[in-house]
C-alpha cells in the first residue's frame, strides 16, 4: 500500500516528465491538491511534505477545514460549482476561485470580498465540449464575462479553467485542451496579465500539460480512492 509521500512523489515525477516531453520549463506547472472529502489530517500530511495549494469543491466543508488549520500557510482554491447563497463564504475564506461562470456570481463575490483582503483570484470555467450537464460558459461567452470581471475591483482575472468530457478518447481530449489553450491566448491579447490555465486531473494531467496547462488539479492520485459516502 502506497503512502501519501509515495503518491506525491509519483505525481511530481509525472508532472516533471510531462513538462520535459512538452519542452516546458520544469516549474511551469503548479500542483493543486484536490482535498474534497479528505480529512484535515490528510491535508496536514501533504502540507508537511511541502504542498501549499489545496482545492475544495464544497463550500462548508472547505471552510471547516480552513478554520481547523489556521496555523498552516495554505493557499485555498475553490474549484466546485458556486451557488448564490454560498458566495459570501467563498469571498471571505478562499484565495482563488476556478469555477466562475456567471455574471451574477462575479458581482456577488466582488461585493462580498472583504476590503482588508487582496483581490480574489478568479478563473473563468469554460464548458469546452458544450456538455449539457456541465457548468461553465461557452467559449463564445468568455469575452463578455472576462470584460465584466476586469471591471470589478475586488476580483483579479487570472485565466481559464475547464473539465473536458472524460469519456472521449485521448485524441479528442488533447483537442479539447488545445482549444482551451487557443482561447486563453486570444484572451491574453486583451488581458496581458493572464497567467493561469487550470486544466488536467489525475487521469489526464499529461495531456493537459502537453497543451499548456499551468495548474493541474489532482486528488485521487495523491490521496488514493475516495471513501464511499454514507448518504447521496
Helix axes 142-149, 103-112, angle to 10 degrees: 20
Answer positive or negative: Cα dihedral of 151, 157, 159, 160. negative
Instruction: Give me the pLDDT at residue 2, please.
Output: 66
Give me the domains of the chain, ranges plus CATH numbers.
Answer: 4-222 (3.20.20.10)
pLDDT in tens, 46-87: 999 999 999 999 999 999 999 999 999 999 999 999 999 999
Which CB contacts under 8 angstroms, 24+ apart, belong to 175-178? 176/128, 176/129, 177/207, 177/208, 177/210, 177/211, 177/212, 177/213, 178/211
Strand 75-78 with 30-34, pairing? unpaired
pLDDT in tens, 181-228: 999 999 999 999 999 999 999 999 999 999 999 999 999 999 998 766
Instruction: Indicate if the pLDDT at residue 36 is higher than 60.
Output: yes
Q: How many CB atoms lie within 10 A of CB 186?
A: 12
Q: What percent of the chain has pLDDT over 90?
A: 89
Over residues 148-165, the mean pLDDT reads: 96
Q: Which residues pair with 96 in a beta bridge?
A: 77, 121
Burial label, 92 (beta-carbon count in 10 A; 0-12, 13-18, 19+) = middle
**Residue 26: which pLDDT band, with cuts at 50, 70 and 90?**
confident
Q: What percent of the chain has pLDDT over 70?
A: 97
Answer yes or no: are the C-beta atoms of 221 and 202 closer than 8 Å.
yes
Q: Of the ranges 28-37, 144-153, 219-228, which one carries the lowest mean pLDDT score?
A: 219-228
Over residues 134-160, the mean pLDDT reads: 96
Instruction: Indicate if the pLDDT at residue 232 is higher than 60.
Output: no
Instruction: Indicate if the pLDDT at residue 158 is higher than 90.
Output: yes
Q: Give the mean pLDDT of the chain.
A: 94
Instruction: Give me the pLDDT at residue 228, please.
Output: 63
Structure-model confidence comparison of residues 134 and 18, the more confident one: 18
DSSP 8-state secondary structure symbol assigned to residue 137 = B
**Residue 229: which pLDDT band, with cuts at 50, 70 and 90?**
low
Amino acid at each position: 500500500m502506497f503512502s501519501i509521500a509515495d503518491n506525491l512523489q509519483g505525481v511530481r515525477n509525472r508532472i516533471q516528465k510531462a513538462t520535459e516531453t512538452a519542452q516546458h520549463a520544469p516549474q511551469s506547472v503548479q500542483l493543486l491538491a484536490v482535498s474534497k472529502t479528505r480529512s484535515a489530517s490528510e491535508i496536514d500530511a501533504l502540507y508537511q511534505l511541502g504542498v501549499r495549494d489545496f482545492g475544495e469543491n464544497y463550500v462548508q466543508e472547505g471552510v471547516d477545514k480552513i478554520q481547523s488549520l489556521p496555523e498552516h500557510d495554505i493557499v485555498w482554491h475553490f474549484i466546485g460549482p458556486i451557488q448564490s447563497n454560498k458566495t459570501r463564504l467563498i469571498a471571505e475564506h478562499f484565495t482563488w476561485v476556478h469555477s466562475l461562470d456567471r455574471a451574477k456570481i462575479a458581482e456577488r463575490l466582488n461585493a462580498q470580498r472583504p476590503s482588508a483582503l487582496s483581490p480574489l483570484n478568479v478563473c473563468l470555467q469554460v464548458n469546452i465540449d458544450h456538455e449539457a450537464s456541465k457548468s461553465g460558459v461557452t467559449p463564445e461567452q468568455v469575452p463578455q464575462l472576462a470584460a465584466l470581471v476586469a471591471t470589478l475591483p475586488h476580483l483579479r482575472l487570472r485565466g481559464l479553467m475547464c473539465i473536458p468530457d472524460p469519456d472521449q478518447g485521448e485524441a479528442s481530449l488533447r483537442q479539447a485542451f488545445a482549444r482551451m489553450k487557443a482561447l486563453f491566448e486570444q484572451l491574453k491579447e486583451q488581458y496581458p496579465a493572464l497567467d493561469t490555465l487550470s486544466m488536467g486531473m489525475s487521469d489526464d494531467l499529461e495531456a493537459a500539460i502537453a497543451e499548456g496547462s499551468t495548474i493541474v488539479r489532482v486528488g485521487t492520485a495523491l490521496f488514493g480512492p475516495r471513501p464511499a459516502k454514507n448518504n447521496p
